[in-house]
Structure formats: structure tokens, C-alpha cells
Amino acid sequence: MRLAITLLVSLFFSLSTYAATVTSVKGKNVIISLSDESVSRGQKVELFDSNGKKRGIIQITKTNKSGTKALGKLIVGKAQKGWGTDSGQDATMPREGKSSKKQLRYGGIVGFSMDSMEVTLEDSKADLSGTGYSIKGIFDFPFSESFQFRGRVGAEFFSASGDAASSVCTSCDVDITYLTAEGMAQYYINNSKYSFWVGAGGAIAMPSSSSSNAIDTDSLDTTSLIQVAGGFDIKTTSGYIPVEIIYAILPKSDSVSGSYVSIGIGYMW
């Protein structure tokens, strides 16, 4: 789990560099220096300050022959030397502008989870914990600039183990693979290069395989989960990168209760 968090943090800061940088501002004329991306005449691109906040929009009027620099006209907001742009992404983006509010986006996401389960055995209780992972396809459907629906379909691998002073098991373990279908309502707190959100939803989970010496796996059936989450989307030149933390609670029975905290990262086109 520490490795997963370290990778997420490293990726976050590596993505903080912009595809293009403002090198000169004279009135409404803005010159940007391009890296590996390209822009075309008439394209609108967004300007972001050092904190990732969107500050303006420029429209490209001219590019040099080598494609390393471009001249644009400021049409919204303001510009300042050193600010960055998403040079390959048009300024009209999901949750920004009426024309794209209902644009469906697809992608994939992988997650690493901290799993926990409390099992009531015949003569004692066992507190189990472990690390799992997930692989899912996701889609986003924005309703407005602030609200959207996020769906996920894929596999959740739950794994937990622990010791118990019981005749049932002393080294207890539970491993379950769920096929899941999830839905979540998200509220976006801000609208910039790094768009933060909070959300809540649920999931239907169907066990496809399982093994355990602590619970009766034959009694496992399709179940539901309650989820609360938070995260942010990082805009890129061709889409965005969703980063999310989900807390999920499994329904409690007479003998078993469980939950997990998942950290996920993916890509949306």
C-alpha cells in the first residue's frame, strides 16, 4: 500500500508540468513555447497559473515553421509569463461549457485496497486485514459543470487474514474475487486543471471465486456495497487522469462484517 501511495504521489507531481509555457505577453498577444505537443491556427487553449488554476483562454493565430512556438490572442481572462497551457486540448472540455456537458467519456482504472473483516467464529472473534486490488472499466457522464455520474464495471479482489484462538482456525484467511457494477454521484468543488470532487454511491458485487478457512464460502451470494469517495481529475492534452479514494462498507451479517479503503488511478479518453 505504501508503494501504491508513493507511485500516486510521484505521478501527480510528474504531471504537474504543462504541455506549453507562456514566454511573452504584450497586451492581448501571448507567445507560448511548445514542448512535444502541437497546436493549430484557430485552436483555443487554456492558461493555468502555478497552482493549476485556470486563468484565461487564448486563441492561436500563428505558429512558427518548426512548431516550437505559437502566437495567440487572449480572449478570456488574463495571461502572465511562466503560466502553462494544455496545448493539445481544446478549451471546451468536459464540465466546461454547454457544448460538452453531456459528453460521455470512457477509460480504465486500477486500485489498491486495505481490506478488513471481522468474523464471529464458534468460540471467538477474528479480526482480519490485508491488501487487495481491483481492475475496472469506468465511464463518466456529466450533467453540469458541477455534477456527474461515474460508473465502474470490473473485478475486485478482496483479501484478508489474521490469527484467532479458535477451533475453527488459528491462522484465518479470506480471499474473494467479486465482479462488480458500481454507480456514484460526484460533486465537483472546483473547475481547473486539477478538479477536486466528493461523491457517494453503491455497488452490486457478485462473488466469482472464493476460498477461506474462516467463513462458509458456499453461503456467499450477490451483495451490495455502500461507497463514499473523494478525489480529483488531472486534465491532460487528450483526456484526464482520475485519482480517487473510496471507502466501501459490505452489508453486515450475524457472523461477518467487512469494509475496504481503495486508492485508484486511471485514464479517461
Asked if 1 and 132 count as a contact pair (C-beta separation under 8 A), the reply is no
Those residues with Cβ within 8 angstroms of residue 241's Cβ, 6 or more apart along the chain or in another chain: 11, 15, 233, 234, 265, 266, 267, 268
pLDDT of residue 52: 77
Amino acid 261 reads V
Residues facing residue 204 across a β-bridge: 181, 224
pLDDT per residue as tens digits for the range 2-22: 555 554 444 444 444 556 889
Residues in the chain: 269
Asked if 23 and 33 count as a contact pair (C-beta separation under 8 A), the reply is yes
pLDDT of residue 16: 44
pLDDT of residue 25: 94
What is the arithmetic mean of pLDDT over 171-177? 98
CATH no. for 20-88: 2.40.10
The three-class DSSP label of residue 12 is: helix
Rounded Cα gap, residues 64 and 67, in angstroms:
5
What is the arithmetic mean of pLDDT over 235-242? 88
pLDDT per residue as tens digits for the range 80-112: 998 988 644 444 444 443 334 458 999 999 999
Domains 20-88 and 100-268 share a fold: no
Q: Which CATH class is domain 100-268?
A: mainly beta
- Domain definitions of the chain by residue range: 20-88, 100-268
Rounded Cα gap, residues 172 and 188, in angstroms:
42
